[in-house]
Amino acid sequence: MKLYYSPGACSLASHIVLHEVGADFSIEKVDIRAKVTETGADYWAINPKGAVPALDTGDGVLTEGVAIMQYLADSHGATTLAPAPGTMARARVQEALNFVSAEVHKGYSPLFNPAITEEGRSAAMANLHRKLGILEATLADGRDYLTGADFTLPDAYAFVVTGWSGRLGVDLAAYPRLQAMTGRVAGRPAVQQAMQAEGLLG
């Protein structure tokens, strides 16, 4: 398998899961602006959506991080990361994954736009903080991770997107439980391996 990624982008969550499941894989960096990979390949030809991640499974190219992460967990029997389909535990993982993808990730997205107005930034921040508040409230019962005691797929995704906060000026001081959770995620060997490979450490 080969993961197409951009350093520190949402593709990092899929990269973490590849390490978590012990997959045999390689990685290839993508210049998202130019839509060219580090070997000079036309990324549009690999993924017509033009975004990362994309995973060449050897049986076709799979896109969308939420789909990639679940495919990896299922195909490698990683039932702690993603419980069996049809169970409430799996539905909770999918619920959290979809919330992080559709609400939290997209909450950060406007802040990457250098042309955003002050009014637009203020509105985007207010929206994002509402979403972060929901994650904080989810952890209020003392659970270690978003769906309970175990590290699951949405924790990797939440770790990545909240990791953008510093450079985007998002203050996480109001979310101590969320910060503690992402700190636990940061210490996982798979996370360190993925970040090292993407040049994000040191």
Please, what are the averages of pLDDT over each run of 10 residues along the chain (202 residues)? Answer: 98 98 98 98 98 97 98 98 97 98 98 97 98 98 98 98 98 98 98 98 82
What token pair was written down for 171?
Answer: 């203050």
202: Cα within 13 Å, side-chain hemisphere: 5
Question: Structure pTM?
Answer: 0.97
- Alpha-carbon distance of 191 to 13, in angstroms, equals 9
| The token pair that represents 98 in the structure block | 């979809």
* 138 close to 146: Cβ distance less than 8 angstroms: yes
**pLDDT for the residue numbered 14:** 98
Residue 84: what pLDDT?
96
Q: Do 108 and 128 form a contact (C-beta atoms < 8 A)?
A: yes
Peptide bond into 53 cis (omega under 30): yes
* Domains present along the chain, CATH in parentheses: 2-78+190-197 (3.40.30.10), 88-188 (1.20.1050.10)
